[in-house]
Amino acid sequence: METLSEIYNFAFEFGLERNSLIIALGGGIVGDITGLAAATWLRGIEYIQIPTTLLSMVDSSVGGKTAVNHPKGKNLIGAFHQPKAVFIDPETLQTLPKREFNAGMAEVIKYGVIKDKELFEFLENENNKNKLINLDNECLIKIINSSIKTKSHIVSKDEQEHGIRAILNYGHSFGHVIENLCGYGEFLHGEAISIGMKIAGEIALEKGLWSNEELIRQDNLLKSYSLPNKIPKINKKEIITILMGDKKVRDGKMRFVLPKGIGEVDIYDDIVDSLFLKYFS
């Protein structure tokens, strides 16, 4: 909120008008806060996203969700505000720390599981894995393109998340629990999502939605980008509090995105607490 307030001060100082435009150059945090500043300054001015992390290229720069955190929860203060344009140059990834790159891969793998079997298989291929780890431009463009295609396709059908857009939250309910309760900073967003996908995958296996082999394929892919899958110890009462405070609750019911196979997910509101609490022992 303090940084947002500083942006408003600059906006005032520089005399930004209704037809002015703000450029968000940076990662997802810069994109989210700039988008919110643009959404609210003078009741909304235009902005452009120039994402410089893998996560912001494949996810946060596209779709128009803008937000800042509240001490009680992540992204509680925000608005839907579409950028005028998104410019992506994969060259910027050359300077991105490896850990940040891998965290972005968690979102790419997410697209594979929720909607894009072909992308998932592309990522499983050893040759492609090596190329991606070495930041091969052609491979990067391929996975960034596929990811954005899936995201923009889903968002264009349901911009304000009344239905299908929620599938983009695969791994995010438990991911947000982990980010919240382990303190922001312990896990990067993508790392928390990786553990969230692991938990969702386990629940799906137990419910007979997908096979053990599919769960192992997801595990292996996450592991090959050094993403964590070990579930941290967390107080169980706090887990429920965070889940109930999450934006994914509707009519008092928690809703979970679970995989039915590689490339297919669905939304379930019949998951009893005991089914997931046991993973947090």
> Is residue 126 annotated as part of the catalytic site, yes or no?
no
Q: Which of 69, 107, 110, 179 is catalytic?
A: 107
Distance between first and last Cα of the chain: 35
Cβ proximity to ligand NAD: between 103 and 209 the closer is 103
Cα dihedral 186, 179, 281, 166 sign: negative
169 is catalytic: yes
The 51-80 site mask, x for binding ligand NAD (CB under 6 A), equals: -xx-xx--xx--x-x---------x-----
What minimum distance in Å lies between the beta carbon of 79 and ligand NAD? Answer: 11
- Which of 2, 13, 19, 43 is the catalytic position? 43
How wide is the angle at C-alpha 24 spanned by C-alphas 116 and 157, nearest 5°?
35
Q: How many residues bind ligand NAD (CB under 6 A)?
A: 21
**Rounded to 5 degrees, what angle do the CA atoms 113, 117, 121 make?**
105
Label the pairing between strands 73-80 and 85-86: unpaired
Of 74, 115, 176, 198, the catalytic one is 176
**CB of 27 or CB of 271, closer to ligand NAD:** 27
Binding mask 9-28 for ligand NAD (x = CB under 6 A): -----------------xxx
The distance of closest approach from Cβ of residue 241 to ligand NAD in the complex, given in angstroms and rounded to an integer, is 20
Helix (H, G, I), strand (E, B) or coil at 268: strand
Phi, psi of 277 (to 5 degrees): -60, -30
Check binding of 196 to ligand NAD (CB under 6 A).
no
DSSP assignment string, 46-85? EEEEEE-SHHIIIIITSS-EEEEEETTEEEEEEEE---SE
Chain residues 75-134 in contact with ligand NAD, contact rule CB under 6 A? 75, 92, 95-96, 100, 103
Report d(CA 91, CA 144) in Å as an integer.
12
Min separation Cβ 207 and ligand NAD, Å:
27
User: According to CB under 6 A, which one of 16, 22, 32, 111 is a site residue for ligand NAD?
Assistant: 32
Q: What angle do CA 59, 172, 178 make, to 5 degrees?
A: 120
Catalytic annotation present for 43: yes
Do the beta carbons of residue 106 and residue 193 sit within 8 Å? yes
| Interface ranges with ligand NAD (CB under 6 A) | 26-30, 32, 52-53, 55-56, 59-60, 63, 65, 75, 92, 95-96, 100, 103, 189
Active site residues: 43, 65, 107, 151, 161, 165, 169, 172, 176, 189
